[in-house]
Structure 1
Amino acid sequence: MNLDFTQFIPSMPYILKGILVTLKIVILAGIIGFILGIILSLLKISSIKILGWLADAYTSIFRGTPLVLQLMLIYFGSPQVIGYQIEPYTAAVLSFALNSGAYISEIIRAGILAVDKGQQEAAIALGVPYGKMMWDIILPQALKNILPALMNEFITLTKESAIVTTIGVMDIMRRSYQVGAENYSFFEPLLIAGLIYYLMVMTLTFLGKALEGRMRRSD
């Protein structure tokens, strides 16, 4: 093997700028996906069956098709469907948020159902409105139980964000590939990209465990 990492040292600042691009996509998509997941989970446990069916259908579609397909449909298909070319960054955030919302909805739904039914019965007996009961009583308890699963989804989102390179978003992978093309050597920059992703995931894992431990101590 003839590896030379020194030739890529001048390009490191350029590659590292991709971290900010990746984080912007992941954080924004994660927030939107979380909000969407809460809404979908509430629809799934709603007494109105048609709402539950619609939420289940949404989840089935986005969990049953590849994320890269959803990304390409939104980006490459937007001119044909809406007559307007969506920006690569916007398409990335939108596709990741819609996909993540489907997975998060199942996580939150499971967390809500795991909360002792006596909590809900007591709130109803006290005349607490449904919305206030879910927001102040049920959801906080559910979130404590599902925090590890939510962090895992966020970590998965971080790794899968690398596919945005297929639509030209200047993330870590795209920049690493460009540096490799300029130097006619791809192994080293792609290995550097892999190391960056690994360090990001390990950081998220550490933060998730710290947050989980803090929430347990607050019980």
Structure 2
Amino acid sequence: MAEPVVDIPVKRSHDFLSLTTKPILKRRRPGQLVAVVVVLFAIVYGVYVLFTNPGFGWPTVGKYLFDKRILGGLMVTLELTIIAMVIGFVVGLLVAVMRMSDNWLLRAVSGAYIWFFRGTPLLVQLLFWGFAAVLFPKIGLGIPWGPTFVEWNTNDLIPLFAAAILGLGLNEGAYMAEIVRAGLLSVSAGQSEASRAMGFSHMSTLRFVVIPQAMKVIIPPVGNEVISMLKTTSLVIVIGVGDLLYNTQQIYAQNLKQIPLLIVASLWYILLTTILTLGQSRLEKKYSKGNALLLGKAQR
């Protein structure tokens, strides 16, 4: 006996098209419109005040923007940033390796270093280095509690510029140690085990295997630290180092044009920060491509 045929209703194509061609109604969001209006009004009003308020003193800004004293202070700021970051990176690398050592004494010393320099304000550390001669008027080489063979005046051995570098560099080393340690821990333990199985020593493993791979993780936060250091150098004003902000202060102390001179310093800081930010972005893109290539090869 033949089975009965059941007609199944089929939706016509023109009915489906009629449903899909209906206009899509966008959800009205009056709050966004109000926010846009408020932001545009704030921008327009800010630009108006910026160029109409005589207190900003734009002619004075243009006059001192390339003043030799400003440029001299700018060079000191760059020197402090570069030297302090080099010291901080070297110290941070050593402290990070000590922190990961099997020796409990090295771990304790590195932990105490990080604890102290991260636990006290940088401003206080700079003041301590600036007034080091109060604690130790003379620095020399000799036998403890015995005769001194060579001796120097502390203020001659540690001038204000050196005190600023020591304060900035040693403080940065504590933060850099944690960044480097995080990078070293990001490398799998199998890499170290394989290199040791091939006859590499512990230091050779760090130098040729672990550190090159860890740099992919270390470099992006180091870029942030460089940008932060550039602005942090302004704290050396408390010990009288002639950086950008200090020279700016000396100028407006004479002509009483505080706001225009502070704008000059801010413009230079913004320019240098922008350059460093662009450089950081290029480095991050470069190393992210390297990570993508390594991941692709590993998946093959």
TM exceeds 0.5? yes
Matched, 1:167 2:222: no
| 2:104 alignment partner, one of 49, 57, 64 | 49
| 1:38 alignment partner, one of 89, 93, 96 | 93
Percent identical pairs in the alignment equals 34
Aligned-partner SS, 1:46: coil
Query: What is the number of equivalent residue pairs in this alignment?
Result: 219
Distance in 2, Cα, partners of 1:119 & 1:176:
52
2:95 and 2:110 in contact (8 A); partners too: yes
Distance in 2, Cα, partners of 1:211 & 1:78:
42
Distance in 1, Cα, partners of 2:201 & 2:111:
25
Q: Which residue of structure 2 aligns with residue 120 of structure 1? A: 192
Deviation, 1:210, is 0.9
Distance in 1, Cα, partners of 2:120 & 2:240:
22
Q: Which residue of structure 2 aligns with residue 150 of structure 1? A: 222
Q: Which residue of structure 2 aligns with residue 69 of structure 1? A: 124
Query: Between Structure 1 and Structure 2, whose CA radius of gyration is higher?
Result: 2
Q: Relative contact order: is structure 1 or structure 2 higher (C-alpha 8 Å, sep ≥ 6)? A: 1
Distance in 2, Cα, partners of 1:33 & 1:73:
18
Distance in 2, Cα, partners of 1:8 & 1:218:
44
1:107 and 1:149 in contact (8 A); partners too: yes
Q: Which has the higher helix share?
A: 1
Deviation, 1:79, is 4.0
| 1:176 alignment partner, one of 245, 248, 272 | 248
TM-score by length of 2: 0.70
Distance in 2, Cα, partners of 1:165 & 1:92:
9
Q: Which residue of structure 1 aligns with residue 42 of structure 2? A: none
Distance 1:24 1:75, change over 3 A: same
TM-score by length of 1: 0.95
Deviation, 1:11, is 2.9
Deviation, 1:49, is 0.9
Moved more, 80-89 or 66-75: 80-89
Matched, 1:9 2:73: no
Distance in 2, Cα, partners of 1:8 & 1:182:
15
Write the letter of the residue equivalent to 2:111: D
Distance in 2, Cα, partners of 1:78 & 1:10:
40
Q: Which residue of structure 1 aligns with residue 201 of structure 2? A: 129
